[in-house]
Amino acid sequence: MKLGVLVLFVPFLLGFIASTSFERGINLEMPLSDSDERISPYDRIKDSQIYVFDDKVVLQIKDASLAEYANTNSMDPLLDEYATGIEVEVKSEDELHVGDVVAYETDIGLIAHRIIEISYDNDGKYFILKGDNNNGSDPYKIRFNQIKYVLVGVIY
């Protein structure tokens, strides 16, 4: 349970850095790195759904389930064999955004990769996915009926 507290401590720490930086006149609008901006997941969990107590952290997430990951290295460093994901079932294709990490069904089982593009063709909406640690995108269009879950949190 202490690991969950660490995950939730990061936003608090960032808020502290921002308020301390403001007091010291540091401009946080400037990037702290010279690296390129990368796509991030859609913000699904609001602060009002997170309860932090002295002895536990409670996340109020409807229809959540836990996920484990195989050691494929495709989503390193975000997901690896010892990470525990918190996922929710996807009910509508409109819930999905570029940057989201989803678990989609294949002949070999579920694969968790990031949505890097959403587009349309004659068969409707499709998603292009890519493992963060892979050189290229997955070699096929993913349809909504293949996508089962969207990742809403990771606990290490």
Has residue 24 been placed in a domain?
no
Distance, in Å, from the CA atom of 26 to the CA atom of 36, rounded to the nearest integer, reads: 21
Has residue 127 been placed in a domain?
yes
Q: Nearest Cα to 52, choosing from 108, 97, 8, 117?
A: 8
Q: Nearest Cα to 104, choosing from 144, 140, 65?
A: 144
Calculate the alpha carbon distances from 117 to 1, 84, 125, 138 in Å: 35, 25, 11, 11
Has residue 27 been placed in a domain?
no
Cα atoms in the Cβ-side hemisphere of radius 13 Å centred on 16: 5
CA 121, 44, 11, 67 torsion-angle sign: negative
Has residue 21 been placed in a domain?
no
Where are the alpha helices (H) located in the chain, listed in sequence order?
Answer: 2-24
Q: What domain count does the chain have? A: 1
Has residue 120 been placed in a domain?
yes
Please tell me whether residue 6 adopts helix, strand or coil conformation. helix
Identify which has the larger pLDDT, 13 or 30: 30
Has residue 72 been placed in a domain?
yes
Q: Nearest Cα to 96, choosing from 47, 25, 35, 144?
A: 144
Q: The domain spanning residue 82 has which CATH number?
A: 2.10.109.10
pLDDT tens string 40-60: 899 999 999 999 999 999 999
pLDDT tens string 86-105: 999 999 999 999 999 999 99
Q: What's the pLDDT score for residue 43?
A: 92
Distance, in Å, from the CA atom of 44 to the CA atom of 78, rounded to the nearest integer, reads: 18
pTM above 0.85, yes or no: no
Q: Which domain holds residue 59?
A: 39-155
